[in-house]
């Protein structure tokens, strides 16, 4: 383990990382020599980067670039817990690095951080958890000698005594009971009852779904507004451009009702994917008739249909790998327009990912990463 600490960066939200999670990434950079030292240098030297991460690991070494208190841009979830409250690790996948060994080193590093910062293994996440990006790619594919589950086994459950008391504080402090139906009254961490369950159900039925805990029983729909639900609400808010404060109030309620499948006003409770199928099959007609038939689901359904057809047929707006691009990015840091940051970035498109929120990696002429941007920023 090695330190090559950077004093500060503009690619951060702030300095108040609560260190509640660890996020695992892969660099996707298979170029020979693109190992941990190379990426650490990139962070140390680069001034056109659009992202930052705390650690980089390869088969030889783990190098820390930033103190854990930095809230770095890397998880693609805006002001969600991924960017704000996780420690981010890039696993190098350069062709001249032994991938399995790099994962073993990453597991050792994660265990070290879990212990040091009192983070439990259930809070060790993929980048995918936060933004839906297919990252860490090789671990997620599981076809390169080690799967995500094997990696989770490698880091074990133990994370020191601190984490147990921390978890206890989060989970068994005095829950406040709330009752009735959820009609947009503000719900938050520490509350439990029927309104919370209704919120959780709506989050899970949303298209795309925001499960409180995808791997838990019933997707974590348990009537308790704990950290998982707060996290799901924060991700939901940041996905829809709402102020991401982790509280479920009027705005969240309205957004859930306009995008969720359990809205009783139309579509008779069918999921968006079902409605998409039906629409494709012609069951909802065209034009105004389709609008009428789909009601409040019209936009969500059309978004899916248009998104699909644009990736399969209309390539005219797509950016091809290797093309030169430049883009302006806006960073909205609150629902008001006061705190909007703009920065520009240019480079050569390296990797394209089809998901809406996913970043496109940009390289300079030497093949070094210079940053990330999103497809929509380039169009």
Binding site for Zn ion (CB under 5 A): 25, 127, 135
- Sheet strands side by side (includes 55-57): 2-3, 62-64, 55-57, 86-91, 21-26, 124-126
CB of 171 to Zn ion, least distance (A): 28
Contact between 358 and 133 (Cβ < 8 Å): yes
CB within 8 A of 239, min separation 6: which ones?
A: 208, 210, 357
Helix (H) or strand (E) holding 74: none
Nearer to Zn ion, 201 or 373 (CB): 373
C-alpha atoms less than 13 angstroms from C-alpha of 5 in its C-beta half-sphere: 7
CB of 43 to Zn ion, least distance (A): 15
Q: What are phi and psi of 86, to 5 degrees?
A: -125, 155
β 71-72/324-332 pair status:
unpaired
CB of 23 to Zn ion, least distance (A): 8
Number of neighbouring beta carbons within 10 Å of residue 8: 10
Nearer to Zn ion, 24 or 261 (CB): 24
Nearer to Zn ion, 56 or 234 (CB): 56
CB of 136 to Zn ion, least distance (A): 7
Nearer to Zn ion, 90 or 191 (CB): 90
CB of 140 to Zn ion, least distance (A): 10
Strand ranges for 27-153 from DSSP E: 55-57, 62-64, 71-72, 86-91, 124-126
């Amino acid at each position: 383990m090695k330190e090559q600490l950077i004093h500060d960066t503009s690619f951060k939200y702030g300095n108040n990382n609560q260190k509640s999670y660890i996020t695992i990434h892969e660099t996707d950079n298979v170029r020979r020599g693109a190992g941990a030292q190379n990426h650490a240098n990139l962070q140390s030297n680069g001034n056109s980067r659009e992202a930052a991460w705390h650690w980089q690991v390869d088969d030889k070494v783990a190098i820390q670039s930033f103190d854990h208190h930095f809230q770095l841009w890397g998880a693609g979830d805006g002001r969600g817990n991924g960017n704000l409250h996780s420690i981010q690790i890039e696993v190098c996948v350069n062709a001249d690095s032994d991938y399995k060994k790099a994962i073993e080193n990453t597991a050792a590093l994660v265990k070290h951080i879990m212990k040091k910062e009192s983070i439990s293994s259930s809070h060790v996440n993929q980048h995918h958890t936060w933004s839906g990006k297919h990252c860490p790619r090789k671990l997620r594919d599981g076809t390169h000698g080690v799967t995500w589950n094997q990696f989770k086994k490698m880091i074990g459950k133990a994370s020191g005594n601190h984490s147990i008391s921390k978890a206890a504080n989060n989970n068994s402090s005095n829950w406040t009971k709330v009752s009735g139906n959820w009609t947009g009254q503000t719900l938050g961490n520490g509350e439990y009852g029927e309104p919370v369950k209704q919120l959780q159900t709506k989050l899970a039925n949303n298209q795309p779904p925001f499960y409180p805990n995808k791997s838990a029983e019933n997707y974590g729909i348990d009537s308790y507004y704990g950290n998982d639900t707060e996290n799901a609400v924060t991700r939901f808010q940041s996905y829809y451009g709402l102020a991401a404060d982790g509280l479920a109030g009027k705005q969240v309620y309205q957004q859930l009702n306009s995008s969720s499948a359990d809205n009783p006003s139309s579509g008779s409770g069918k999921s968006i994917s079902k409605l998409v199928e039906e629409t494709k099959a012609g069951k909802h007609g065209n034009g105004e008739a389709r609008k009428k038939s789909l009601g409040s689901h019209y936009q969500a359904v059309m978004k899916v249909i248009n998104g699909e057809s644009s990736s399969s047929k209309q390539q005219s707006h797509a950016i091809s790998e290797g093309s030169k691009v430049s883009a302006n990015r806006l960073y909205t840091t609150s629902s008001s327009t006061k705190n909007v940051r703009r920065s520009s970035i240019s480079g050569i498109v390296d990797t394209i990912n089809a998901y809406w929120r996913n970043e496109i990696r940009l390289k300079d002429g030497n093949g070094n990463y210079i940053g990330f941007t999103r497809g929509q920023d380039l169009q």
